Amino acid sequence: MRETSGRTRRTVLAGAGAAVAASIAGCSGLPFGADEATITGRQLSGVLEESPPSIPDRVPIGIDASYLDAVASELESALASVPTPFDATEVPNGAIRARLNRQSETARATLAGAGEEPTRWERAGSLRRARRETGFVVGGWAAIDDDRTIADVRAAGEAIRDDLDSFRRRWAYLGADAIEAVVVNAAIAGLVRSCIGGLNRVLSARERESATALDVAEADERLASARGELGDAVYLFDRLRGRDGVRSRRDALAAAADALVDGVAERRATTGLDEGAFTAEADREATPAERALRDLRDDIRRGDIGETRDAGAFPQAIVEAHDALATIGAVEALRARIDAGEAIDPASVEDVDTIRTRAREALVAVHADGAYPRLDRLQTHRLAAVLGYVDDELSHVDADDEIALSRLNWELRDYVRIEAVARSVGDASAAVARALERE
């Protein structure tokens, strides 16, 4: 019997790698025409002079420092229980040793850095990451030193599964008010979702003859992650229960989700977002605004809020609707700007500066003046993170390097998008708040 084999894989991969390398090199290495507008690294530094606003993620209920301190202490003890850095006597295989030692250093650094996070919610996130990294190291060492197996990890996963079931039976959409119920329960749902995903990997892990200590380490990493996510979900829920005026907001959230699913569908229809094909290829001549518009339009057509609502995931459906409304608002604003001929086609350093300044100022404004800061933050902390990321990318251009403005298409598109979404966040929050007040 004969069959065709994919025999040219190496050639194909080599070609792909070369293309990617050329693309990266192109950021600063490709020549530009004599009549093409350019910008130097020094000029970019001037554009980036004003820092992006700091809008860290937070949940609008207090997280006790003592809770986080206890988590940090537990992780420190776990890390102290393994004799890292391992030497060749403890872990003869250098590849396994290097990986465990590297992950141990990472876990310690994450743990140390968690205390520097700007909010307790972000600190909790860092601690979950540290727990995951610690789980890898402790699990890998247990496999080497104590014959821990995939089956042992799976058994521990079953125990967490029981805890998860127990939590889901007592979990309810509580809140001191409806917005609190949305924001905090959406955060809880995010943790539960991650926990389920990780546990599924742990519980379906198979025994393999070739399993090494690193396979056990990776399974333990997922187990630790699931444990941390469930622990924080339980903590947040217990905090909610202790709030003054707390009660179930399920009916209000269900009604709001219904209204918002319909409202988003209407807006999509009136904006004509359901028509036309997805954009396949970038237009090289497109302005940053046109690129941003195209991406936003494609984004809004993905996802199905109705499906989320139908699953009973009302907080998530409302958060998705908030995102959709902000995106639709941004599409409308960008479309109007383009139709009016007001979209900037960057041709100078000043144009770049204007595009970036508008993004920053729009974000600062909604963060400072928004009527619904708890809802606004669902978007603004992400927008601030993207702004910081793009700034960081541009800051890597050496002062004396000169690059064509056309090489900044993606970055300028992101700035335009940040501005457009930031300007429509307030309206999206108001629409969500109205839906929640209908109770």
Nearest to 170 by CA among 190, 197, 196, 192: 192
Q: Which is nearer to another protein, 147 or 400 (CB)?
A: 147
In the bound state with another protein, the residue whose beta carbon lies nearer, of 72 and 199, is 199
Q: Tell me the window of 32-40, 157-165, 258-266, 413-421 that interacts with another protein (CB under 8 A).
A: 157-165
Residue length of the chain? 439
Site for another protein in 92-131 (CB under 8 A): 92-98
50 vs 238, beta carbon nearer another protein: 238
Least distance CB 213 / another protein (angstroms): 5
Number of residues that bind another protein (CB under 8 A): 57
DSSP sequence for 14-35: HHHHHHHHHHHHHHHHS---TT
* Residue 165, both tokens: 């079931």
Q: Which of 133, 93, 95 is nearest to 114 (CA)?
A: 133
Burial 197-234 (b: 16+ CB within 10 A, else e): ebbebbbebeeeeeeebbbbbbbbbbbbbbbbbbbbbb
Decide: 118 and 56 in contact? Cβ < 8 Å: yes
Figure out which of the listed residues 35, 116, 146, 165 binds another protein, where binding follows CB under 8 A.
165
- Alpha carbon dihedral 150, 128, 236, 312, in 10-degree steps, equals -60
285 binds another protein (CB under 8 A): no
| Ramachandran class of 386: left when φ > 0, alpha when ψ lies in -120 to 50, beta otherwise | alpha
Nearer to another protein, 58 or 250 (CB): 250
Instruction: Tell me which of 44, 82, 144, 378 binds another protein, using CB under 8 A.
Output: 144
Stretch that binds another protein, among 28-36, 199-207, 358-366, 389-397 (CB under 8 A): 199-207
2 forms part of the interface with another protein (CB under 8 A): yes
Binding mask 223-242 for another protein (x = CB under 8 A): -----------------xx-
> Do 387 and 413 contact (CB within 8 A), yes or no?
no
Residue 400 binding another protein, by CB under 8 A: no
| Nearest to another protein of 314, 372 (CB atom) | 314
Token pair of 124 as six digits: 């909790």
Q: Output 258 or 402, the one with its CB closest to another protein.
A: 258
Instruction: Write the Ramachandran bin of 303: left for phi over 0, alpha for psi from -120 to 50, otherwise beta.
Output: left
Q: Which of 55, 127, 213, 352 binds another protein (CB under 8 A)?
A: 213
Which residue lies nearer to another protein by CB, 214 or 384?
Answer: 214
CB of 162 to another protein, least distance (A): 11
User: Least separation, in Å, of the C-beta of 241 and another protein?
Assistant: 5
Q: Which residues contact 123 (CB under 8 A, 6 or more apart)?
A: 68, 114, 115, 117
Strand pairing category for 402-404 and 247-248 = unpaired
Q: Is 147 in the site for another protein (CB under 8 A)?
A: no
Q: Which amino acid is at 362?
A: A
Q: Which residues between 293 and 312 bind another protein (CB under 8 A)?
A: 311-312
Among 264, 313, 344, 387, binds another protein (CB under 8 A): 313
CB of 263 to another protein, least distance (A): 22
Dihedrals φ, ψ of 396, to 5°?
Answer: -80, -5
The DSSP output letter for 308 is H
Q: CB of 320 within 8 A of CB of 308?
A: yes
* Window of 172-180, 297-305, 377-385, 404-412 that interacts with another protein by CB under 8 A: 172-180
What does the radius of gyration of the chain's CA atoms come to, in whole angstroms?
25
Q: Does 169 bind another protein (CB under 8 A)?
A: yes
Q: Looking only at residues 9 through 28 of this chain, which bind another protein when binding is defined by CB under 8 A?
A: 9-11
CA atoms of 120 and 118, how far apart (whole Å):
7
Shortest reach from residue 7's CB to another protein, in Å: 4
Q: Is 282 in the site for another protein (CB under 8 A)?
A: no
- Of 205, 219, 308, residue with least CA distance to 260: 308
Residues engaged in binding another protein (CB under 8 A) = 1-5, 7-11, 88, 91-98, 143-144, 161, 164-165, 168-174, 189-190, 192-193, 196, 199-200, 203-204, 206, 208-210, 212-214, 240-241, 246-248, 250, 311-313, 316
